[in-house]
């Protein structure tokens, strides 16, 4: 297991209560749940940012969908 380091931040009182209740109902540690939530947040944010960078690079290369591509996508979801 990787070495864990401490990080401190403030959360709303309601979320602190919710975290405690979730920990109690699942039998898991609050820190474990917070680490998991933080990891998921970072994963999603990195995925989105990487997607944006890839899309911008494609746009810079003038790689755009043509009418046939758009029609194929439209047909996929309407038929």
Hey, what are 64's tokens?
């755009």
Does residue 4 fall inside a structural domain?
no
Residues 6+ apart with CB under 8 A from 65: 73
Does residue 51 fall inside a structural domain?
yes
Does residue 20 fall inside a structural domain?
no
pLDDT in tens, 32-69: 999 999 999 999 999 999 999 999 999 999 998 889 99
Hey, what are 6's tokens?
């401490």
Does residue 11 fall inside a structural domain?
no
Neighbouring C-alpha atoms within 13 Å toward the C-beta of 18: 6
Q: Which residue segment(s) compose the domain that 47 sits in?
A: 29-78
Q: What is the tally of structural domains in the chain? A: 1
Helix (H) / strand (E) element for 2: namely: none
Query: Nearest Cα to 34, choosing from 51, 54, 56, 10?
Result: 10
Residue 79 has pLDDT above 80, yes or no: no
Name the band, by pLDDT with cuts 50, 70 and 90, for residue 1.
confident
Query: Nearest Cα to 37, choosing from 64, 58, 11?
Result: 11
pLDDT in tens, 13-41: 999 999 999 999 999 999 999 999 999 99
Name the band, by pLDDT with cuts 50, 70 and 90, for residue 2.
confident
């Amino acid at each position: 297991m990787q070495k864990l380091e401490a990080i401190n931040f403030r959360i709303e009182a309601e979320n602190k209560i919710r975290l405690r209740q979730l920990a109690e109902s699942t039998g898991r540690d609050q820190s474990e749940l917070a680490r998991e939530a933080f990891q998921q947040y970072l994963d999603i944010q990195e995925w989105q940012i990487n997607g944006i960078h890839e899309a911008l690079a494609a746009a810079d290369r003038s790689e755009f969908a043509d009418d046939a591509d758009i029609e194929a996508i439209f047909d996929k979801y309407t038929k």
